[in-house]
Each structure stands twice: as C-alpha cells, then as structure tokens.
C-alpha cells in the first residue's frame, strides 16, 4: 500500500489483520493518530509509516519498541515514542490550553528561553561526548547508527529495482546506484553492500562507525541508512550519500566511455581546478589525521574515491577499510597494511602526482 493516495486516519478495518509480518503505508496522505492496535500485531516485523501526516504520540509497545523495524520519519507532527525516534516530547492538551491564555510576548519569551537552554545543554552534551571519546581512543565497532533509517522498499523504488541503468559504480564490497527517495527530493547515491563477499558486513560496520564520528565539508555526507531484509528475506544493508554529479577524479584522469572522453578528459581540468582538488583532499586528510579524536586513517586514498560536486569541489569517500588509530606508533607501522596497490599511504602524494 506504499505510494498511493490514501488519506484520512487508519481505520479499524485493519485491526483484525494480526498475522501481518510487513505493513508499508509510506508516502500517502494518511493523518490522525497512529492507532494503538498496531502495537498488538505480534508477528509484525517491519512497519513503514513514513511520509504521511500522522500526529500526536507514537505508541511505545509492540513493534514500536524497535526503531530499526519501524519507520516514521516525514511525519512532522509526531511526538513521544522511544528515544531512538528522536522526536519531541509530547505536550498535553491542558498545557496547550494554559499556554493559549498567556500573552503572545510572554509565550515568545518563554520559547526563546527554552531554545537557549536547549542549545546550552546540547553544547554541554557534545563537550562531554568529546571528553569521553578522548578517554577512549579506540571506540568499539557497532551498528547502532546515529543516522535516520530508510526502508528497503523506499530504496528499491528510488533505484527502479536497483536497475543497471541506475548503476553508477561498483567495487569489491558494494555497488552504487543513483536514486531519488521521493518526488521533489535531490538525487542521492545509494551504496548497497554485497554480502556474497565475506568482508562486506565488516566494511559496512566500519564505514558506519567512521561516518558517525566525522563531519567535514570535504568528506562525503551521509543522508540516511538502511539495515533491513530484502524481498527474498536476505540481509540488506546500504548507506545513502549526497550525489556528486561530476563523478570521481578517476573518470577525469582515465575516461572510459566516449561521453567521459568528451566531457571529462584530463585536458578539461584547468590548473586552478587541479590545485583546488589537491587542496580539498589535503584538507580532508588533515582533519582525519589531526582533527579527529581518535585519528582516522582512510587507507585507500585514490582517484576513484575522490568525488566531485557540481562546483568541482572534491570530497573524500569510501571509508570501508578505514581504521581508528591509537595514540601509539601505529601510524608508521607497516603491519597489516591495507589499501589498493599503488595508492597505499601517504596517498595524498599520489593525488598530487596525478594532478
């Protein structure tokens, strides 16, 4: 029932269907409160209510206890629920009535005060988290992501069933597809991990952990993530990144298709663009090595992992074999060297040589 024109509240006619395992009502115009009877569906394994107009409090029992199995993003009037949903606290009707009796200026003043307090507490929380990370320089690997989840069905639809015409790249551990999550949204790059490769699961876990710990304008940004099962019941994991319309530096240096030879030939990169790309990559590595706590080694800096946006700004991508470095001499050790032959660190010199 995904992507139709259903509207109004979810009716009681669904309440007898207690044997459902998957229920997808996403991208409709449904409204009202999420009915409590859905929490009683004991066999329900996947519930997708995203991109509707639901409001009020989310139930906290049944499947609603599992944020990875329940998708509710895109409903801006929802509140409450378990903390993993990261929704605002619900305000009771009595509180709303009391607020409506206050003068407008007083309400604005109170709200501004609450905003300032929230920002102050958020800043304090971030400081505490940074201190915690400094005290534990080798964080454990976990797939308890900070990213919002998206359903498998949404990614399947966005890529037209992961069709070859949407395929924009492939590697040992994953394939990358171009897609649009919903109408009017910008294009995204969907990295789908290939579990036929025995190291794909580890690569997904490492990349998630790294992306949770970094944020920099010269490093590719994560939009959302998916860790579900596909239509055949197999494990499915994907990361969704911002789409980089000018492709990779590899395509500019070694164009393969006739179209790339016309538009992305090496001679089309002028001296300023070459210098800016090198500076962008150096800026990202400087942040990873000196600005992160603990430092992070990318381990595979090469032209195919340098992506270019519509303004030819370079961003470092693909952290599947990256590693957190302890405060030891691991940076200079040759034990367990990882990466593509010919591009092993210090990879920035390779980029400079190519440019």
* Beta bridge partners of residue 190, listed in sequence order: 177, 240
Asked if residue 227 and residue 249 are part of one domain, the reply reads no
**What's the CA gap between 208 and 222, in Å, rounded?**
9
Q: CATH code at 271?
A: 1.10.510.10
Of 31, 27, 19, the closest CA to residue 71 belongs to 27
Residue 200 lies in a domain: yes
Report yes or no: 222 and 212 within 8 Å, Cβ to Cβ.
no
Q: Could you give the C-alpha distances from 143 to 48, 255, 300, in angstroms and in order? A: 20, 36, 22
What DSSP character marks residue 186? P
Asked if residue 293 and residue 230 are part of one domain, the reply reads no
Asked if residue 258 and residue 347 are part of one domain, the reply reads yes
Asked if residue 202 and residue 116 are part of one domain, the reply reads no
Pick from 219, 243, 267: which residue ends a domain? 243
Asked if residue 141 and residue 127 are part of one domain, the reply reads no
Of 91, 16, 81, 88, the closest CA to residue 49 belongs to 81
Burial call 178-217: b when 16+ CB within 10 Å, e when fewer: bbebeeeeeebbbbbbeeeeeebeebbbbbbbbbbebebe
pLDDT, residue 190, reads 94
Of 314, 308, 333, 315, the closest CA to residue 323 belongs to 333
Residue 147 lies in a domain: yes
Asked if residue 349 and residue 302 are part of one domain, the reply reads yes
**What's the CA gap between 1 and 29, in Å, rounded?**
12
Asked if residue 112 and residue 65 are part of one domain, the reply reads no
Q: CATH code at 237?
A: 3.30.200.20
Sequential pLDDT tens for the chain (355 residues): 888 888 999 988 888 888 888 999 999 999 999 999 999 888 899 999 999 999 999 999 999 999 889 999 889 899 988 988 888 988 865 555 555 555 667 777 777 778 777 777 766 666 655 554 444 433 333 344 455 678 899 999 999 999 999 999 888 789 999 999 888 889 999 999 988 887 888 888 888 888 888 889 999 998 888 888 888 888 899 999 999 999 999 888 887 777 766 767 776 888 899 999 999 999 999 999 988 888 988 888 889 899 999 999 999 998 888 888 864 444 443 334 455 555 455 544 455 555 5
Residue 198 lies in a domain: yes
Pick from 209, 226, 243: which residue ends a domain? 243
Residue 1 lies in a domain: no
Report yes or no: 263 and 296 within 8 Å, Cβ to Cβ.
no
Asked if residue 183 and residue 228 are part of one domain, the reply reads yes
Catalytic positions, written as ranges: 300
Pairing mode, strands 46-48 and 22-24: parallel
Asked if residue 106 and residue 82 are part of one domain, the reply reads no
Range of the domain at 26: 7-93
Number of domains in the chain: 4
Asked if residue 355 and residue 250 are part of one domain, the reply reads yes
Residue 2 lies in a domain: no
Angle between helices 347-354 and 271-286 (to 10 degrees): 170
pLDDT, residue 125, reads 65
Pick from 135, 160, 192: which residue ends a domain? 135
pLDDT, residue 149, reads 72
Asked if residue 222 and residue 281 are part of one domain, the reply reads no
Omega of the bond leading into 161 within 30 degrees of 0 (cis) = no
**What's the CA gap between 354 and 342, in Å, rounded?**
12
Asked if residue 230 and residue 252 are part of one domain, the reply reads no
pLDDT, residue 128, reads 59
pTM, rounded to two decimals:
0.53
Give the per-residue SS3 of 62-116: HHHHCCCCEECCCCCEEEECCHHHCCCCCCCHHHHHHHHCCCHHHHHHHHHHHHH
pLDDT, residue 156, reads 92
SS3 163: coil
């Amino acid at each position: 029932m995904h992507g139709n024109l259903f509207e109004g509240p979810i009716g009681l006619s669904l309440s007898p269907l207690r044997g459902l395992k998957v229920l997808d009502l996403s991208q409709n115009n449904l409204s009202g409160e999420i009915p409590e009877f859905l929490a009683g569906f004991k066999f329900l394994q996947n519930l997708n209510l995203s991109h509707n107009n639901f409001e009020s409090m989310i139930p906290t029992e049944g499947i609603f206890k599992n944020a990875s199995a329940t998708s509710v993003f895109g409903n801006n009037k929802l509140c409450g629920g378990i903390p993993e949903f990261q929704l605002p606290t619900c305000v009771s009707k009595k509180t709303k009535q009391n607020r409506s009796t206050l003068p407008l200026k007083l309400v604005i003043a109170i709200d501004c005060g609450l905003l300032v307090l929230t920002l102050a507490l958020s800043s304090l929380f971030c400081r505490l988290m940074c201190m915690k990370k400094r005290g534990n320089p080798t964080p454990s690997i976990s797939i308890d992501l900070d990213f919002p989840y998206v359903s498998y069905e949404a990614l399947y639809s966005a890529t037209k069933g992961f069709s070859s015409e949407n395929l924009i790249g492939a590697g040992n551990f994953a394939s990358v597809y171009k897609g649009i999550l919903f109408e009017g949204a910008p294009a995204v790059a969907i990295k789908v991990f290939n579990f036929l490769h025995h190291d794909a699961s580890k690569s997904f876990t490492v990349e998630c952990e790294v992306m949770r710990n970094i944020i920099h304008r010269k490093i590719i940004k994560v939009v959302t993530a998916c860790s579900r099962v596909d239509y055949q019941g197999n494990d499915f994991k994907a990361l969704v990144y911002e789409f980089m319309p000018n492709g990779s530096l590899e395509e500019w240096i070694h164009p393969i298709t006739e179209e790339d030879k016309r538009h992305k030939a090496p001679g089309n990169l002028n001296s300023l663009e070459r210098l800016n790309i090198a500076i962008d990559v150096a800026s990202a590595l400087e942040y990873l090595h000196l600005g992160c706590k603990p430092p992070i080694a990318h381990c595979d800096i090469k032209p195919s992992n340098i992506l270019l946006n519509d303004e030819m700004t370079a961003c470092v991508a693909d952290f599947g074999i990256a590693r957190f470095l302890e405060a030891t001499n691991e940076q200079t050790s040759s034990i367990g060297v990882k990466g593509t032959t010919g591009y092993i660190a210090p990879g920035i010199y390779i980029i400079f040589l190519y440019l």
